[in-house]
């Protein structure tokens, strides 16, 4: 709404859009704007490592393509149930090549996979981990 109020009837440039969102959110989102609008990155995520912890699992997700894309971690449990945990592009803010996702689970895990939803992954075979 702030963007429309500021720029209605004017001729904004893409940087006006970016700066308005940075200003209204109170955060520097340049890492996101540069990644999505000014790079040749593509979506290709991979499960690099899965480690069992005291409370669940720690998953290291590698961003092979470099795109700061959202994804879901889908946990398939041994009892046949599933759980989906959404990860926004914010997981890539600190490090756009690797992110660690911590999962708290109370049931036996059978497999874990990454699901990009509408965002197509270049190599889906490396998005799956089986116990």
Could you tell me the residue ranges of all domains in the chain? Answer: 2-37, 45-130
Three-class secondary structure of residue 17 per DSSP: helix
Q: Are 72 and 88 in contact (CB under 8 A)?
A: no
Distance, in Å, from the CA atom of 97 to the CA atom of 99, rounded to the nearest integer, reads 7
d(CA 47, CA 126): 6
Residue in the block written with tokens 């409370």: 55
Residue whose token pair is 């040749």: 40
Q: Can you name the CATH fold of 45-130?
A: Immunoglobulin-like (2.60.40)
Predicted confidence at residue 2, as pLDDT, reads 82
- Looking at residue 7, its pLDDT comes to 87
Q: What is the pLDDT along the chain (131 residues), one digit of tens a residue?
A: 788 888 888 898 889 989 999 999 999 999 999 999 999 999 999 999 999 999 999 999 999 999 999 999 999 999 999 999 999 999 999 999 999 999 999 899 999 999 999 999 999 999 999 99
> Residue 17 half-sphere exposure, CB side, CA atoms within 13 Å?
8
Q: 81-96 as b/e, with b when 16 or more CB fall inside 10 Å? A: eeeeeebebebbbeeb
8 Å CB contact between 63 and 71: no
pLDDT at 22: 94
DSSP 22: H
């Amino acid at each position: 709404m702030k963007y429309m109020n500021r720029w209605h009837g004017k001729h904004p440039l893409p940087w006006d859009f970016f700066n308005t969102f940075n200003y209204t959110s109170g955060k520097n989102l340049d890492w996101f704007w540069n990644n999505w609008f000014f790079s040749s990155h593509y979506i290709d995520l991979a499960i690099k490592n899965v480690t069992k912890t005291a409370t669940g699992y720690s998953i290291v997700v590698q961003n092979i393509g470099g795109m700061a894309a959202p994804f879901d971690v889908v946990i398939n449990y041994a009892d046949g149930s599933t759980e989906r945990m959404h990860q926004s592009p914010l997981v890539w803010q600190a490090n756009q090549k690797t992110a660690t996702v911590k999962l708290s689970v109370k049931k036996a895990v059978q497999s874990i996979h990454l699901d990009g939803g509408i965002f197509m992954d270049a190599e889906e075979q490396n998005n799956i981990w089986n116990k």
